[in-house]
Amino acid sequence: MIDFGVKDAIDILIVASLLYYIYKMMKESGTIKIFNGVLAFIVVWVVFRLFLDMKLLGAIMDKFISLGLLVLVILFQEEIRRFLFELGSQNRWKFLFGFLRKNDKGTTKPYVMAIVYACMNMSKSKTGALIVVERNTPLEKFEHTGEIINANVNSRLIECIFFKNNPLHDGAMIIANDRIAAAACILPVSHNTDIPKSLGLRHRSALGISQESDSIAIIVSEETGNISVAHNGKFRLRLSGKDLEDILSNS
């Protein structure tokens, strides 16, 4: 039978890991100040209720705590949805269900090189672009904010869509099921305060969709021509064509 001290240590480790994961998720989504405020309120409640034994004030704060659970669900509904999705994502359990996966790590996805060539060409001409590659999270609700394309992934077509005089060049292109699903799509904008001011709306939109889904968002800067990627709420900046190919092939 497991010793109580060992179980207690495991319990503390699990709670600490969960709090760290929540802290990391809040930081990526730009809501870390709200998270810190909630933690501060809980600490004050514990001090007054349990240590100082101030019953009246503690009872009032108890009501706020019970009501606060509902408020937190409303405030962090997107983060909770993402947490539950990632918890049930096949990538989280692939070590248990690896035999169900059909993709071979050595096989390059058919659309990868078309995206890489298009991004390299647009980088040279400093043509701004935002391409979102769907993975496990469905992006249908974002597809319907733009124009449905439903075409094969072709580097020439990608470049034509993002050509400055094309009416579809504004917004994002979404690639799903190895096809160009839609263009001129509207994405959620990240309000993360840690984003460098040198990065514009395309980068904020790319980070926003990467915070709401497990998709890979590729940005070509209109000002510098630099290629960047947003994935899992993080940026990878100033990428080469080989870097981009590796990210798309190994994700």
Each residue of 142-159: pLDDT tens digit? Answer: 999 999 999 999 999 999
pLDDT band at 2 (very low <50, low <70, confident <90, very high): very low
Label residue 177 exposed, middle or buried (CB < 10 Å: 0-12, 13-18, 19+).
Answer: exposed
- All structural domains of the chain, each given as residue ranges with its CATH number in brackets, are 4-98 (no CATH), 112-250 (3.40.1700.10)
pTM above 0.85, yes or no: no
* Stronger pLDDT, 24 or 194, i.e. the higher one: 194
In the chain, what percentage of residues exceed pLDDT 70? Answer: 68
pLDDT single digits (tens) 68-81? 667 667 766 666 66
Res 95: pLDDT: 42
DSSP structure class, residue 100: G
Are 83 and 117 within 8 A, CB to CB?
no
For 64-69, which contacts have Cβ atoms below 8 Å and span 24 or more sequence positions?
68/38, 68/41
Separation of alpha carbons 104 and 92, rounded Å: 18
Dump pLDDT digits (tens) for 80-132: 666 666 665 544 444 444 444 444 444 568 889 999 999 999 999 999 999 99
> Other CB atoms closer than 10 Å to residue 3's CB: what's the count?
8
